[in-house]
Amino acid sequence: MLPQFLPNTIPNWIGGAQVEAQSGEVFQKVSPHSGVQLYRVASSGISDIQRAVQIATHAQPDWAGMTPVRRGELLLNLAQVMRDYRDDIAAVVALETGMSFCAAQAETAVAIAQGEFMAGEGRRLYGRTATSATPHKYASLVRQPVGVAGLIIAANTPIANIAWKVFPALICGNAAVVKAAEDAPATAWLFGRLARQAGLAPGVLNIVQGLGEQAGAPLVAHPDVGVVSFTGSTEVGRVIATVAAQRLAKVSLELGGKNPLIVCDDADLEKAVDWSLLAAFSNAGQRCAAASRIIVFDAVYGQFRDQLVERTRKLRLGPEDGDDLGPVINERQLNHMLSAVEDARKKGAAILTGGTRLGGAAHGKGFYMAPTIIEQVAPRDAISLQELFGPITCLYRVKNFDQALCMANDSPYGLTASIHTRNIDRAMEFTRRIQAGVAVVNGGTHGSEPHMPFGGTKMSGNGTREPGREALEVYSDLKAVYINVSAEIH
């Protein structure tokens, strides 16, 4: 059911006010579960972005003029307001994404924790002091805001993605313009409303609804946006990096993954199966950290595969709390996955389970993909290289640890990776040699905790890390300060 507080058309938040797109254009947001229209959404364009950036630029100096401690207090207040309205946030996240309310509550809790952690950074916005070769000269390094931050996000975990960027951008003294994900517009709108309620000054946080090329691209190209932080596909990330490079803007890219999970011959197989199910299929596989390549030692391959397939067939799909996974976010994404699986099948892949769209009264109108396990694919086949961002995983058979590690690293991506083993030497060697931003032993391939940096190597990013304290590097510039004092004291 549609929460009553949602407007029929989801507007922008610019300068603390709710505004339609200047063109008056709208697009439709449909439910991934039922396919019916939920609401219309302001389809913003270049003039809306220009207005939002202008207002953010105007609001930023006063925000930056507050002490970081005061900014932290206001952001803590926002985190508290989010806590007060956490069930409303979760209801909107569930409605827009099709995930269960319970999963949306867990995601909301992570977003609140992110806010609380970053608010505390207001008391720790450290620079450093340094020595000087010159007598009576004091050298230090202080953090400065960049100015206006342009934040562009994906819809997969919408409230966490917003919190992940907005809180560090604001604590550093920037004003922000968020380009909401077109598949999760109301989550961003509600966040804007709660920020207003928490007392953020108008213009410090602006939220613009719209499609990527119409609303996202002008934000990236805008000369007054000093830092662009993007969470989304590698394909779009590459375009953003190219455009931002023209004006040498700072860019942080959190991109895709094709994450390996290795199961060794000495693994606790039951736990490895549990973790594989979660890592491959939770949130319908729409996680940059999803385990989409499961690499299994020969000695346990058959046993592991049979258990995994059996458990996968029992997974329940739907939007309710008892369900294991929901639909994927839109029909275009679903069709893209179906055709990728079909291409793999034509090239000789074996689809062990899934591979189809779910029909029937419970699922037929939604965008449900049956959880899919594929084998007999080569590491350089398209399906092994391409991120599908859905409930699809491939199995690979290897002889030993070296072959497993080599296959895990043989990928254009390097976001997260995991190994299941009881051997400490193997585990340590894996964490040392795996080419990934996150290495996990005896767990799933997963994202970050609020105080830990996340990000990838190779095509998974451009080397920045968010969140954790490392996010402060993205959203602040360093200024070296030298003070010469007189040695003569009067």
In sequence order, the 6+-apart residues with CB closer than 8 A to the CB of 280 are: 261, 290, 291, 292, 294, 371, 391, 392, 393
213 binds ligand NAD, rule: CB under 6 A: yes
Does residue 255 belong to the site contacting ligand NAD (CB under 6 A)? yes
CB of 112 to ligand NAD, least distance (A): 18
154 lies in the binding site for ligand NAD (CB under 6 A): yes
User: Do 125 and 172 contact (CB within 8 A), yes or no?
Assistant: yes
For ligand NAD, the closer CB: 307 or 372: 372
Candidates 98, 173, 257, 371; binder of ligand NAD (CB under 6 A) is 257
Write out the binding residues for ligand NAD, residues 110-129 only, by CB under 6 A. Answer: none
Instruction: Quote the CA–CA distance of 211 and 215 in Å, as a whole number.
Output: 6
Cα 478 to Cα 4: distance, rounded to the nearest angstrom: 46
Span 169-188, contacts to ligand NAD by CB under 6 A: 179, 181-182
Minimum distance from residue 387 beta carbon to ligand NAD (Å):
5
* 251 sits near ligand NAD (criterion: CB under 6 A): no
- Both tokens assigned to 267: 């693994």
Q: Which is nearer to ligand NAD, 367 or 389 (CB)?
A: 389
Site for ligand NAD in 84-103 (CB under 6 A): none
257 vs 354, beta carbon nearer ligand NAD: 257
Q: Which of 72, 74, 94 is nearest to 3 (CA)?
A: 94
Residue 385 makes contact with ligand NAD by CB under 6 A: no
Give the integer Cα–Cα distance in Å for 107 and 34. Answer: 22
Residue 424: how many other CB atoms lie within 10 Å:
9
Least separation in angstroms between CB 314 and ligand NAD: 27
Among 158, 216, 260, 371, binds ligand NAD (CB under 6 A): 216
How far apart CA 131 and CA 412 sit, in angstroms, is 43
Alpha-carbon gap, residue 220 to 255, rounded angstroms: 16
CB nearer to ligand NAD: pick between 173 and 447 = 447
The DSSP symbol for 153 reads: -
- Which CB, 273 or 440, lies closer to ligand NAD? 440
Stretch that binds ligand NAD, among 166-174, 208-216, 374-382, 478-486 (CB under 6 A): 208-216
Q: Which is nearer to ligand NAD, 231 or 418 (CB)?
A: 231
403 Cα distance to chain centroid:
31
Closest distance between ligand NAD and the C-beta of residue 247, in Å? 15
Cα(327)–Cα(183) distance, rounded to whole angstroms?
13
Residues touching ligand NAD: how many (CB under 6 A)? 27
The residue annotated as part of the active site, out of 121, 254, 466, 473, is 254
CB of 360 to ligand NAD, least distance (A): 27
Of the candidate residues 104, 188, 288, 351, the single one contacting ligand NAD (CB under 6 A): 288
What is the separation, in whole angstroms, between the first and last Cα of the chain? 76
Considering the candidates 288, 387, 394, 473, report the single residue annotated as catalytic: 288
- Residues numbered 17 to 36 that lie near ligand NAD (CB under 6 A) are none
Residue span binding ligand NAD (CB under 6 A) among the ranges 70-78, 206-214, 244-252, 475-483: 206-214
State both tokens at 434: 């795996």
**389 binding ligand NAD? (CB under 6 A):** yes
Cα angle vertex 383, ends 342, 274, to 5°? 100
**Would you say 391 and 371 are in contact if contact means Cβ atoms under 8 Å apart?**
yes
Nearer to ligand NAD, 74 or 227 (CB): 227
What Cα–Cα distance (Å) separates residue 396 from each residue in 273, 305, 307, 343? 15, 10, 15, 18
| 231 touches ligand NAD by CB under 6 A | yes
What gap in Å lies between CA 11 and CA 351, rounded to an integer? 43
Binding of ligand NAD by 233 (CB under 6 A): yes
Nearest distance in Å: CB 43, ligand NAD: 11
Q: Which of 230, 109, 239, 127 is nearest to 179 (CA)?
A: 230
Residue 453 to residue 245: CA distance in whole angstroms: 24
Out of 96, 116, 324, 387, which residue is the one contacting ligand NAD (CB under 6 A)? Answer: 387
Query: Would you list the DSSP string of 236-284?
Result: HHHHHHHHHHHTT-EEEEE----EEEEE-TTS-HHHHHHHHHHHHHGGG
CA–CA distances in Å: residue 153 to residues 19, 79, 130, 180, 284: 20, 19, 38, 6, 18
The two tokens of residue 8 are: 């029929």
Of the pair 251, 288, the CB lying nearest ligand NAD is at 288
- Comparing CB distances to ligand NAD, the nearer of 330 and 403 is 330
> Active site includes 254?
yes
Is residue 152 close enough to count as binding ligand NAD by CB under 6 A?
A: yes
- If one asks whether residue 155 binds ligand NAD (CB under 6 A), the answer comes out as yes
Q: Which residues are catalytic?
A: 254, 288
Residues that bind ligand NAD (CB under 6 A): 152-156, 179, 181-182, 211-213, 216-217, 220, 231-233, 236, 239-240, 254-257, 288, 387, 389
